[in-house]
Amino acid sequence: MSGQTTARRPHDDGGAGGQLGRDLRRWAHEQRFALWTTFGFVVVNLCWWLWYAAQHRTLPYASMHTTLGAFDLARLLPSLVLTRSVFQLIVEALLIVCMLCIAEPMMGVWRTVTASLSSAVIGIAFGLLLCAGFNALLQDNAIIYHVPFTLSPLVLVVGALFASTAFAYQLWRRRILLIGYTTILVVLLYGGNPGDYCLLVAAIAGQLIGRAMAGPPIEDEAWHWQYSSSSETRRILGAIGVVLAVGPVIAATSRSHAGPLTGLAWVLSPVSVNTGKLASCMHGQITSGCFHQYELMRASMTGDLLRSVLPLLVMVALAIGVYLGRRAAAVCSIVFYLASSAITVCYYLVMPFASGAAMPFSGRAVETCVVNTLVPLLYAVALIAKLPDFSIRTKARPLHVGLIVLGATLVLCAAVYLVFGLTHAADFAPRPGLRVLLAELPGRFLPIGFLTNTRLAFVPGTALASAVYQGVGIVFWIVFVVVAFAWLNATIDYDRKAHARAEELVEHGGESMSFMTTWEGNEYWISPTGRSAVAYRVLNHIALTTTGPFGDSEEWMSDLDEFARFCRDHSWSPVFYAVHRPARDHLARLGWHSIMVGDEMVIDPRAWKTTGKKWQDVRTAINKAKREGITDVMGTYADAPSDVQTQIQEISEQWSQGKALPEMKFTLGGVEELKDPRVRILYAIDADGVVQAVTSWLPTWRDGHIAGWTLDFMRYRSGSYNGIMEFLIARMAQRMHDWDEAHPDEPVDFISLSAAPLTGLHDASEAKPDDGANIDGTVMLQHSLALVADLLEPAYGFKSLYNFKKKFQPSEHPVYICYPDSALLANLGIAIVRAYLPTLTFRGALGMLSSFKPKKADDDTDKKKDADAKKDPDSAQHDPGAQVAHQDPPKQA
Q: What is the pLDDT of residues 823-881, one digit of tens each?
A: 677 777 778 777 877 766 555 555 544 444 444 444 444 444 444 443 333 333 333 23
Which tops the pLDDT comparison, 779 or 369?
A: 369
pLDDT, tens only, 188-207:
776 667 778 888 899 999 99
β-sheet bridge partners, residue 534: 525
Query: pLDDT at residue 801 above 80?
Result: no
Beta strands in 479-625 (DSSP E): 523-526, 532-539, 542-545, 550-551, 573-579, 593-603
pLDDT digit string, tens, across residues 547-567: 999 999 999 999 999 999 888
Region 476-484 average pLDDT: 88
Is pTM, for the whole model, over 0.85? no
| 753 in Cβ contact with 728 (< 8 Å) | no
At residue 241, the pLDDT reads: 85
* Predicted local distance difference test score (pLDDT) of residue 20: 64
User: In whole angstroms, what is the distance from residue 791 CA to residue 849 CA?
Assistant: 8
Which residues, other chains included, contact 659 with Cβ-Cβ below 8 Å and sequence gap of 6+?
795
Query: Does the pLDDT value for residue 488 go beyond 60?
Result: yes
Percent of the chain with pLDDT over 90: 17
Pairwise CA distance, residues 715 & 725, whole Å: 8
- Most trustworthy range by pLDDT among 256-260, 343-347, 532-536, 714-718: 532-536
Q: For residue 780, is pLDDT > 90?
A: no
pLDDT band at residue 735 using 50, 70 and 90 as cut-offs: very high
Q: How many CB atoms lie within 10 A of CB 533?
A: 29
pLDDT band at 304 (very low <50, low <70, confident <90, very high): low
Question: Does 3.40.630.30 match the CATH number of domain 603-754?
Answer: yes
Question: Could you give the angle at which helices 155-164 and 86-107 cross, rounded to 10 degrees?
Answer: 30
pLDDT above 80 for 689: yes
Per-residue model confidence as pLDDT tens digits over 164-175: 888 876 667 777
* Mean pLDDT of all residues in 795-803: 63
Q: Considering only residues 197 and 507, tell me which one the structure prediction assigns the higher pLDDT.
A: 507
Per-residue pLDDT, 358 = 43
d(CA 16, CA 25): 14
Interatomic CA distance for residues 381 and 589, integer angstroms: 38
Exposure b/e, 574-609, CB count within 10 A at least 16 = b = bbbbbbbbebbebbbebbbbbbbbbbbbbbbbeebe
Using the predicted structure, report yes or no on whether residue 697 has a pLDDT greater than 80.
yes
Q: What are the tens digits of pLDDT across the range 208-266? A: 999 898 877 655 444 443 444 566 677 778 878 887 777 655 554 455 545 545 543 33
Sign of dihedral through CA atoms 43, 49, 50, 51? Answer: positive
Question: Is 90 exceeded by the pLDDT of residue 583?
Answer: yes
Angle (deg, nearest 10), helices 155-164 and 109-137: 110
Q: What count of other Cβ atoms lies within 10 Å of the Cβ of residue 539?
A: 20
Q: What is the pLDDT of residue 297?
A: 55
Q: Tell me the pLDDT band of 681, cut-offs 50, 70 and 90.
A: very high
User: Higher-confidence residue: 431 or 267?
Assistant: 431
- Displacement of CA 319 from its chain's centroid (Å): 15
pLDDT at 184: 84
Give the SS3 label for residue 565: helix
More confident residue, 183 or 845: 183
Give, in order, the Cα–Cα distances in Å from 376 to each of 180, 299, 887. 18, 23, 64
Confidence at residue 178, expressed as pLDDT on a 0 to 100 scale = 77
Cα 562 to Cα 225, 226, 532, 559, 573: the distances in Å are 10, 11, 11, 5, 13
Write down the pLDDT at residue 575.
92
Average pLDDT over residues 58-63: 67
Mean pLDDT in residue range 754-765: 54
pLDDT at 758: 54
User: What's the mean pLDDT in 708-726?
Assistant: 86
Decide if 502 contacts 533 (C-beta within 8 A): yes
Domain map (residue ranges) of the chain: 33-222, 603-754
Which has the closest alpha carbon to 184: 192, 129, 340, 263?
Answer: 192
Q: How far apart are the first and last CA of the chain?
A: 19
Average pLDDT over residues 19-35: 76
Give the integer Cα–Cα distance in Å for 96 and 36: 11
- Phi/psi of residue 218, nearest 5 degrees: -85, 120
User: What pLDDT is attached to residue 491?
Assistant: 57
Averaged over 493-521, what is the pLDDT?
83
Provide the pLDDT for residue 773: 40
Give the per-residue pLDDT at 633. Answer: 93
Contact in structure between 187 and 243 (CB atoms under 8 Å)? no
On average, the pLDDT of the chain sits at 75
> What is the CA angle 200-202-208, rounded to 5?
110
CB neighbours of 729 closer than 8 A, spacing ≥ 6?
A: 695, 711, 753, 808
- 3-class DSSP string for 378-399: HHHHHHHHCHHHCCECECHHHH
Share of the chain above pLDDT 70, in %: 68
Q: How large is the average pLDDT for residues 341-350?
A: 72
- In this prediction, residue 467 carries a pLDDT of 86
pLDDT score, position 277: 54
Q: Note the pLDDT of residue 266.
A: 37
Cα–Cα distances (Å) from 66 to 62, 128, 133, 306, 672, in that order, read: 9, 12, 18, 34, 72
CB 734 within 8 A of CB 608: yes
Work out the average pLDDT over 593-605: 85
Average the pLDDT over 491-520 and give the result.
82
Q: Is the pLDDT of residue 296 over 60?
A: no
> Which 3 state secondary structure label does DSSP give 747?
coil
The residue type found at 72 is D
Degrees, nearest 5: CA angle 103-109-110 = 115
